[in-house]
Structure 1
């Protein structure tokens, strides 16, 4: 018998399936996940896929320039694609919230800041789309993983804030509930003193 849950992919003792609540939205997410993230036990992109399986696609890799399925999606007509990546030309996500409605796809780069930067540089097909950034006053709660600053967000937190801005009439808090459940379960199973020594400021 596998020690890992077949649904969430985490060890049974820290399984998050009980915290997963299905969500419906017309916003589509495409997650481009760096290979190093795919095997991380604390990866959060999986929460988005579990809560919104009908509207979330996740592709693993670094160079997607020849990725047939992704590039077919990106070439579909009547779809507005945006890349959540802060750059000199990015606009705040609030600026697209009131634009005429059509299918919206948000592309998320799932990796450390350094790896996400490399993915952005390599995958030049993404540069054809407007890039977005989140409000700068947001603070992340990924307290069991080192972050470069207090504004750094996990992939699920970034997805939550994008969805919350674009569809304010919907409740996406189950994403953060599952995220917090994952963190709490992991902390509970750490050896005594590990969290305080390595993560608590």
Structure 2
């Protein structure tokens, strides 16, 4: 018998499926996951992929020749945006106008540390011609069990939650955050006494 859940890929003890809710979104998410993230027991991209039927998750580093991604990007019925805080990134309001007008939209998320996400962006030349979109700068993350470069650094599931909530305010995506928080609380409870306070609150 496998020690890992066939759905979420996590160990049976740490399975997150009990907290996952099926959600409906008109905006499609495409998650490009750095291959190193697949080894992390606390990765959050899986929450998005399991919750949203119309989402995709591809693993790699250089996605320039990724056939499945390029097939999506070549679909002219969709407008594609990369969630990336570059200098030329547009406000989410620009994308919201398209969604409100019932245009088909896909948002691409880069799943990795800032350093690895930047490398993925540099290597993946097929993303360079896409419009970049940014989130509001005042959002704060709650990834308490992973060191972040700043208070407003967001996990992948938090970024997905915020962009979907901003683009489709009529829909409730809070179950994404609920599953995220449940996963964090479970992981904290598995730590020996004092480890969380020493390593993450200091």
Which residue matches 1:114?
Answer: 115
Distance in structure 1 (CA, Å) of the matches to 2:25 and 2:92: 17
Which residue matches 2:156?
Answer: 155
Mean alpha-carbon deviation: is it higher for 140-149 or for 117-126? 117-126
TM-score with structure 1 length normalisation? 0.96
Distance in structure 1 (CA, Å) of the matches to 2:97 and 2:84: 20
Which residue matches 2:24?
Answer: 24
Residues 124-163 of structure 1: pairs in structure 2 closer than 5 A: 124-163=125-164
Q: Summarize deviations over 1:110-134 as a string: whole Å, max 9, x none.
A: 0100011011111121111110110
Mean alpha-carbon deviation: is it higher for 90-99 or for 134-143? 90-99
Which residue matches 1:61?
Answer: 60
Which residue matches 1:189?
Answer: 190
Deviation at 1:96, TM superposition (A): 1.9
Deviation at 1:77, TM superposition (A): 1.1
TM-score with structure 2 length normalisation? 0.96
Distance in structure 2 (CA, Å) of the matches to 1:94 and 1:190: 41
Distance in structure 2 (CA, Å) of the matches to 1:182 and 1:83: 27
Deviation at 1:3, TM superposition (A): 2.2
The alignment yields a C-alpha RMSD, in angstroms, of 1.0
Is 1:96 equivalent to 2:85 in the alignment? no
Distance in structure 2 (CA, Å) of the matches to 1:23 and 1:154: 19
Distance in structure 2 (CA, Å) of the matches to 1:2 and 1:186: 21
Secondary structure of 2:109's partner? strand
Q: Summarize deviations over 1:120-150 as a string: whole Å, max 9, x none.
A: 1111211111101100000000000000000
Deviation at 1:182, TM superposition (A): 0.4
Which consecutive residues of structure 1, in runs of 5 or more, have no partner in the other structure?
A: none
Distance in structure 1 (CA, Å) of the matches to 2:93 and 2:14: 35
Deviation at 1:12, TM superposition (A): 2.1
Q: Summarize deviations over 1:33-92 as a string: whole Å, max 9, x none.
A: 00000111000000001111x211000000111111111110111210000001010012
Distance in structure 2 (CA, Å) of the matches to 1:198 and 1:11: 23
Deviation at 1:94, TM superposition (A): 2.5
Which residue matches 1:75?
Answer: 74
Which consecutive residues of structure 2, in runs of 5 or more, have no partner in the other structure?
A: none
Aligned residues: 200
